[in-house]
Amino acid sequence: MDNFVALFLIISSLFTTSVIADWNILKQRWSRNGVGDSLKNYCESWRMNVEVSNIRGFSVVPQECVGHVKKYMTSTQYKADSKRAAEEIKLYFSGCCTLKGDGKDAWIFDIDETLLSTIPYYNKHGFGGEKLNSTSFEAWIKESTAPALDHTLEIFHEIKNRGFKIFLISSRRETLRSATVDNLIKVGYHGWSNLMLRALDDELMEVKKYQSKMRQRLVDEGYRIWGIVGDQWSSFEGLPSAKRAFKLPNSMYHIA
Ligand SMILES: *[C@@H]1O[C@H](CO)[C@@H](O)[C@H](O)[C@H]1NC(C)=O
């Protein structure tokens, strides 16, 4: 019996030491540069660098930061950040543009994490810490239960009422069209000019290229693109560009 207890103590102390050691390595690496010393600092810095597109192409949120990302995406800070973005958008469209009134003044919105929130899905699937399962994600989309982002909903209607034509460009697939339309209408969006989804051909293409192609199509049809609101850099990068782009926060996933 004594032997058993001793063994147990040895094993449990080994386990604790190795967990602490991992964290100490991270901490040392981090504080050697004289910047902060907590996991919170580390994860907030990760999050911020994702937002400004210094960190790209991650397929999952680093495991040690999943809790931090979840906390942020469900916080009043996330709401405040989205609200501030909406205020800046309002400031811009109130004075930016001399609309010609020929029906060719355009504004573009993304869908996920821009008009609609997929947080209820990610809340059940590891908050960006698990690789996206597109089968279960699309099954969730088909339920059409995504809530609106309130601040985007408000500016969506203000932009429309100013006379801009609204285009929705999303990397959602064409097969999700009716579920997407149902969902958008259910939470209060209506009156857009076109909803552009990824056709079979476009699925082979990088999202960034697909987004550019859709903007080119609008420009070829004579539209002037005054603004884009999106949560992914791949919605803004490449040509043709809009006069201004507004990035909404999203550190749960990255679309290249
Ligand atoms: C993805 O989700 C589907 C539906 O929930 C499930 O059947 C499948 O096993 C999942 N795939 C992986 C790789 O987890």
Highest mean pLDDT among 97-101, 157-161, 204-208: 157-161
Q: Which of 59, 60, 132, 136 to mutate to test the pocket of ligand 1 (most atoms within 8 A of CB)?
A: 136
Q: Which residues line ligand 1 (CB under 6 A)?
A: 133, 135-136
Boundaries of every domain in the chain = 2-63, 64-247
How far apart CA 222 and CA 203 sit, in angstroms, is 26
The pLDDT of residue 245 is 98
Q: Residue 92 pLDDT more than 70?
A: yes
How far apart CA 224 and CA 150 sit, in angstroms, is 27
Q: Whose CA is nearest to atom 14 of ligand 1?
A: 133
Written as one letter, the residue type at 180 is T
Q: Which of 125, 135, 137, 142 to mutate to test the pocket of ligand 1 (most atoms within 8 A of CB)?
A: 135
pLDDT band for 31, please (50, 70, 90 cuts).
low
The pLDDT of residue 170 is 98
**What percent of the chain is modeled with pLDDT above 90?**
84
The pLDDT tens digits of the residues spanning 107-118 come to 999 999 999 999
191-215-217 Cα angle (round to 5) = 90
**What percent of the chain is modeled with pLDDT above 70?**
86
Half-sphere exposure at residue 111, Cβ-oriented, CA atoms within 13 angstroms: 28
pLDDT band for 57, please (50, 70, 90 cuts).
confident
How far apart CA 102 and CA 163 sit, in angstroms, is 10
The pLDDT of residue 151 is 97
Burial (CB count <10 Å: 0-12, 13-18, 19+), residue 15: exposed
Q: Whose CA is nearest to atom 11 of ligand 1?
A: 133
* pTM, 2 dp: 0.86
Q: Residue 5 pLDDT more than 70?
A: no
Q: What CATH number belongs to 64-247?
A: 3.40.50.1000
Once rounded to an integer, what is the mean pLDDT over residues 166-178? 98
